[in-house]
Amino acid sequence: MAEVATKNWYVIRAVSGQEAKIKDYIMSEITRLGYAAQVEDILVPMEKVVQIRNGKKINKEKVYFPGYIMIKANLSGEIPHIIKSVTNVIGFLGETKGGDPVPLRIAEVNRMLGKVDELTMTTEHIAIPFTQGESVKVIDGPFNGFNGTIEKVNEEKRKLEVMVKIFGRKTPLELSYMQVEKL
């Protein structure tokens, strides 16, 4: 009966911008060399980011801790060497020169994973960057190019009521945050 070794979370330091590729490569190397049972999980913590490009909302995933990959594994025997030999892996976080990788404390893991869960939960929860009385420019919709003043901020509907001067008359418009920018 083989002894079931405990698996701990470790942080692999990697070249920033290559995290997902490196993660896949580590997994395929470990599987190819027959150590898949020693590795429970490899994560690249991501956060959902809403970007506005050309007036359109684009949901993108962004690496939350650039240059870091989390791995839950039993890092005994060859595994640390296999991981370190992967291209673009710098090493493990917290290891001393020639020493073993240092596992993360449970509190740190929970905080990092909690942050990851929190980030997946709150996709559309963008902080409202506008306040009443502020001057804005409409950048989308039929009133594109008009300037106005924010009369009301409706958090539930995630809308702004903007007073815009059209043909010399003040007209209230209901716009989303994505349709205006600060002046």
CATH number for the domain harbouring residue 144: 2.30.30.30
101 and 12 share a domain? yes
Residue 129 within a domain: no
Q: How many domains does the chain have?
A: 2
Residue 1 included in any domain: no
Asked if residue 2 is part of any domain, the answer here is no
| Tens of pLDDT, residues 48-66 | 777 777 777 888 888 888 9
For residue 81, give its domain range: 8-121
Task: Give the per-residue pLDDT at 47.
Answer: 79
Among 89, 121, 153, which residue terminates a domain? Answer: 121
Is the per-residue pLDDT at 125 higher than 80? Answer: no
Where does a domain end: 96, 121, 146?
Answer: 121
Convert 30-55 to b/e letters by CB count within 10 Å (16 or more is b): beeeebeebbeebbbbbbbeeeeeee
Model confidence, pTM: 0.57
Asked whether residue 61 is assigned to any structural domain, the reply reads: yes
Taking only the tens place, the pLDDT of each residue in 24-50 is: 999 999 999 999 999 999 999 887 777
